[in-house]
Structure formats: structure tokens, C-alpha cells
A and B are shown apart, each in its own frame.
Chain A
Amino acid sequence: EVQLVESGGVVVQSGGSLRLSCAASGFTFDDYTMHWVRQAPGKGLEWVSLISWDGGRIDYADSVKGRFTISRDNSKNSLYLQMNSLRIEDTALYYCAKDSRMYSSSWYSFGYWGQGALVTVSS
């Protein structure tokens, strides 16, 4: 059974830093592109970032580019999101999501989602 478990969500002050982790199990982690997707309270879904199965391709939403860094450790079946220079508008539930397709490089879809880690940025 595929499981994605996020951790690291806390309350942090504006301008601060935080690292989210996602522990994956139930599938061959290094065969899949992984994503972070966030959802602000009462709002819709916003894609944040992706990292390919081997880390060779990384993309970011413009809203986080230059502030957030995605990474993965395939030996630990883990995905990470380093978040720096946090802003009030980064307050959201952050989901880790597994791509549906092995070795996907363009036609993405999110087949499995974690339950999310809540990040609250206060002033």
C-alpha cells in the first residue's frame, strides 16, 4: 500500500525557515517524480514544486522560486522541501504527492497524496 507521510509543519514567524519532510513507502521511490502541492485555508490547490526520480529535473512555481528548495534522498525514500524567507501568504497545508507514471517528465498527474503538513506563518 502506498503511503506518504508529511512532517515538519509548525508555526513560524515571517522571514523564518522550515524544512518539510515526506516519508514514502509501498512503492519503488526512485522510479517516480515527486511533487509538493499546497492549499491555503479555504482556498484551491496550488502546485509548488517537482523533482524527477533521479533529481535531474526540478521545477518551481513562480511564487516560491528562489525561496524554496526541493530535494530527495532515494536511499531513505524521502522527499524534502526547504522553505526560506517565509511569508504570510505561504500559510497552507502542504501535500506531498507521487506522480502516477514511472519516470514521468512532462505528463504529470498525482496518483497518491499524503495527508498534509500545516505550515502557519505569523507576523
Chain B
Amino acid sequence: QSVLTQPPSVSAAPGQRVTISCSGSSSNIGNNYVSWYQQLPGTAPKLLIYDNNKRPSGSPDRFSGSKSGTSATLGITGLQTGDEADYYCGTWDTSLSVYVFGTGTKVTVL
């Protein structure tokens, strides 16, 4: 059972904006950097955002990350059909000494 909670699914029309929330606690999100991963169907996950809001090279600027307190948010603007995937947040949990992933959110482009 994951300690980071995400909505099971979000959807929007092409070109629209969606946000995905990730809720945790002071032992994980509250005191550590958050990363976001995209997993396209049948492929390995890919890093989209690290250190709360930084994009690795190759990650489109349509993707953005933010953190406030014990929650984090991934934003996707200009939604494309190619963005249909599962998205996971993740961070280190200092109390448990483990890396924790969110429950995952499926993005559907209507």
C-alpha cells in the first residue's frame, strides 16, 4: 500500500491542461524532493520532473512540477494524444528509509 496518494485517472481534450496531485506526509514529500515519471503503454518509465520542478534534458516544457507542504502537483499543458500514459510521483521517505511511489494516475486524452 503506497504512502503517496494520486487520483486514479484524469482526462481532458487535446490542447487542454490537466493537473495530477500527489499527497504525502512530512516524512516524505514534506522534507524531500519529488520526481515524476511517465510510463507509456508497454514501456519502461521515464523521468519527467526531478527536484520538485526541474526538467531533465529531453523532457518537454509542457510538463511542470510544483510542491507545497506535503503535496506535489504535475501539470501538463497543450495535452496531446501521445501523453496518454500512467504517471507516478516518487520521493524518499526519511522515516521508512525507502523510496516511495505514488499510486499512479492514468491520463486519457478525450
A, B from the same assembly: yes
Residues of A within 8 A of B (CB): 35, 37, 44-47, 50, 59-62, 95, 100, 106-116
- Distance (whole angstroms) from the CB of B86 to the closest CB of chain A: 8
In the complex the two chains form, is B92's CB within 8 Å of A108's CB? yes
CA distance A60 to B97 in the complex (A): 8
B98 CB within 8 Å of chain A: yes
Top 4 A-B pairs, shortest CB-CB distance: A109-B35, A47-B99, A109-B50, A113-B44
Chain A contact residues: helix, strand, loop or mixed: strand
Q: Is the CB of A44 within 8 A of B99?
A: no
Tell me if B104 counts as interface (CB < 8 A to partner A).
yes
Q: Which residues of the partner chain A approach B90 to less than 8 Å between Cβ atoms?
A: 45, 47, 109-110
CB distance from B7 to the nearest CB of A (A): 13
Query: CB distance B98 to A59 under 8 Å?
Result: yes
Q: Which residues of the partner chain B approach A46 to less than 8 Å between Cβ atoms?
A: 101
Within the assembled complex, what's the spacing in Å between the Cα atoms of A110 and B88? 12
Q: Is the CB of B104 within 8 A of A109?
A: no
B45 touches A107 (CB 8 A): no
- Pair A62/B98 contact, Cβ less than 8 Å: yes
Contact residue among B2, B32, B46, B103 (Cβ-Cβ distance under 8 Å from A107):
B32
Is A115 a contact partner of B99 (Cβ separation < 8 A)? no
A111 near B100 (CB under 8 angstroms)?
A: no
Among candidates A50, A106, A107, A109, residue contacting B47 with C-beta atoms closer than 8 Å: A109
Among B99, B100, B102, B103, which residue has the most Cβ atoms of chain A within 10 A? B99
Q: Report the minimal beta-carbon distance from A97 to chain B, rounded to whole angstroms.
A: 8
Query: Taking the complex as formed, is B60 at the interface, i.e. its CB lies under 8 A from any CB of chain A?
Result: no
- Of A45, A114, A116, most buried by chain B (CB within 10 Å of CB) is A45
Q: What 0/1 pattern do residues 88 to 110 of B give for CB contact below 8 A with A?
A: 10101000111111111000000
Q: Report A-chain residues with C-beta under 8 Å of the C-beta of B45.
A: 37, 45, 95, 110, 113
Which single residue of chain A is at the shortest CB-CB distance from B94?
A: A106
Chain A residues near B2 (CB-CB < 8 A): 44
Q: Which of A37, A109, A110 contacts B51 (CB 8 A)?
A: A109
Which of chain A's residues have a CB closer than 8 A to the CB of B92?
A: 106-108
